[in-house]
Amino acid sequence: MKTGGKAATLADVAELAGVSQQTVSRVVNNQGPVAARTRLRVMEAVGQLNYVPNRLAQGLARQRSQSIGFATNDISLHAPSQLTSAIEGAAREAGFSLIVSIVPGYGLGGVTQAVRALKERQVDGVLINASLSRADAAEVARRFADVPCVFMDVPPGSAVNAALLDQYHGAALAARHLVELGHTRIACVHAPQDAVAEHSRMQGWRDVLAEHGLTLVAGQEGDWSPASGYRAAVALLASGLSFTGLLVGNDQMAVGVLRALWERGLSVPGDVSVIGYDDTAESALLIPPLTTVRQDFPTLGRRAFGHLGALLDGQEEPHTTLTRPELVVRASTAPPRVGERLRLQEALHLLQRHLGEGSGEG
C-alpha cells in the first residue's frame, strides 16, 4: 500500500479498499452500480490516500482532452462573467477543465478567431456566447464541423445546437408590467440593435405595446454601459417629449438613467417609472431598488454545458433549449402620476416651438 512519495494510484486505492480496480473506477467516475457499503469503503480509501483521479489519462483513453472551450464577449460584463462562473462549475464537477477565449469585436470574424484559438488547444467542444445571425451561426458550425459547438446568443430557430435565454419573453414581461400599471407614454433606452438579444427585447417591447394600441414615444441607443445610459436619458429629456415609463435594455444602463433623472430633479417612480433587465447584484441596492427582469445565468450555463455533453456522447441533431426570465418588481415602478415637472417640461417645449414658429413669421 502506498504511504508516501509518489501520488496514490487507482491500484493503491483498490488494494486498501479490498476491491478491484474496476470497482474503484466505477465509484470515482460515478458510473455503474456499486453496493453502498462497498462505495463507502472505496471513498474512505480515496480520502485516506488523498487520491486524485488522473483526468488526463482518462481523457487519452477516451481520445479526449477533458477540456471544453468558452468563446465569449468581455467577461467584465455581467452576463459573460455569470455564465463563465456557472459553466466552469459544471465542467469541474464533470471532470472537465474550462478554457476561455475572449471574442474580439463582434460578428463572424471575431467568433471564428476565438473558436480557432480554442481548437488549437485541443478542446473537446466549444460553447459560444457571442451575438450571431442565423447565417453566421450556421457558417461557424460549418467551419468547425469537427468540433461540437453550442451557441448561446443566436436567434431562436437557428439551425444549430443552442442553449438560449428567451429574451423576447423577458422584454414582454417588462412592457406588460408598465402597461398594467397604467402607463401609456413609454420610452426606451436600448442597446445596439445588431445584438441578437437586444433585437429580441425591442420586438418584445413593441409587440406588447401594440397589443394595447400603444407605441414607444421615443428611444435612445446605449452600449450596455452606465455612461451610455446616462447620455441616452439626457437626450430623451432634452427632446421635450413627455413619458412616464422607461424601458431600459440592461441594469447597467439603468444606473446611468437613474443618475440623469436625479440630476434633473425628477423622482423615480413619482415622475418616471424605470425598469431594467438582468437583475444584477446591485439592482436591489439602488435608490430606489430597481424593478428588472431576472435572467437565470447559472441555469443557462449548466444547461449549455449539459447540451454540449450530450453532443460529445453522440447526439448530433440540431436542438435548442430556452430558459425563461422572470420579472422582479421593486420600488422603481408604480402607477403613473404625471408630475408637475414633466407637465411643465412638455409645456415649455410647446411654448419654445410656438415662439420659434412666430419668430419665423416675423
Contact 106, 133 (CB under 8 A): no
Which of 46-55, 307-316, 323-332, 350-359 is predicted least confidently?
Answer: 350-359
pLDDT of residue 321: 86
Joined grid coordinates for residue 57: 489519462
* Per-residue pLDDT at 35 exceeds 80: yes
Query: Angle formed by the axes of helices 36-49 and 21-28, to 10°?
Result: 90
On whether the CB atoms of residues 130 and 111 are closer than 8 A, the answer is yes
Sorting pLDDT into bands at 50, 70 and 90, what band is 6? low
What pLDDT, in 10s, does the model give residues 258-299? Answer: 999 999 999 999 999 999 999 999 999 999 999 999 999 999
Question: What pLDDT sits at residue 61?
Answer: 47
* pLDDT surpassing 90 at residue 346: no
State the Cα–Cα distance between residues 314 and 337, nearest whole angstrom: 58
Residue 362, classed as helix, strand or coil, is coil
Q: How far apart are CA 266 and CA 343, in angstroms?
A: 12
pLDDT tier, 357 (very low <50, low <70, confident <90, very high otherwise): low
Cell numbers describing residue 346 = 412638455
User: Residue 217 corresponds to which amino acid?
Assistant: V
* pLDDT (mean) for 198-219: 96
Question: Quick check: 78 pLDDT over 60?
Answer: yes
Question: What is the residue-wise DSSP string for 166-200?
Answer: -HHHHHHHHHHHHHHHT---EEEEE--TTSHHHHH
Residue 205: pLDDT band by 50, 70, 90 thresholds?
Answer: very high
- CA separation, residue 154 to residues 119, 138, 188, 237, 263 (Å): 21, 10, 23, 33, 38
Q: Do 266 and 339 touch, CB atoms closer than 8 A?
A: yes
pLDDT, residue 52, reads: 67
Place of cell 461557424: 140
- pLDDT, tens digit, 9 for 90 and up, residues 122-178: 999 999 999 999 999 999 999 999 999 999 999 988 999 999 999 999 999 999 999
Whether residue 60 has pLDDT greater than 50 = no
pLDDT confidence of residue 27: 82
Average pLDDT over residues 10-33: 82
| Mean pLDDT score across all residues of the chain | 87
- Kindly report, residue by residue over 287-344, the tens digit of the pLDDT: 999 999 999 999 999 999 988 988 887 765 668 889 999 999 999 999 998 544 455 4
Question: Among the residues of the chain, which ranges form H helices?
Answer: 10-17, 21-28, 36-49, 55-61, 78-93, 107-120, 134-143, 167-181, 196-211, 226-238, 251-263, 297-312, 340-361
pLDDT at 147: 93
pTM as predicted: 0.74
Which comes out higher in pLDDT, residue 51 or 70? 70
Here the cell at position 126 is 466549444
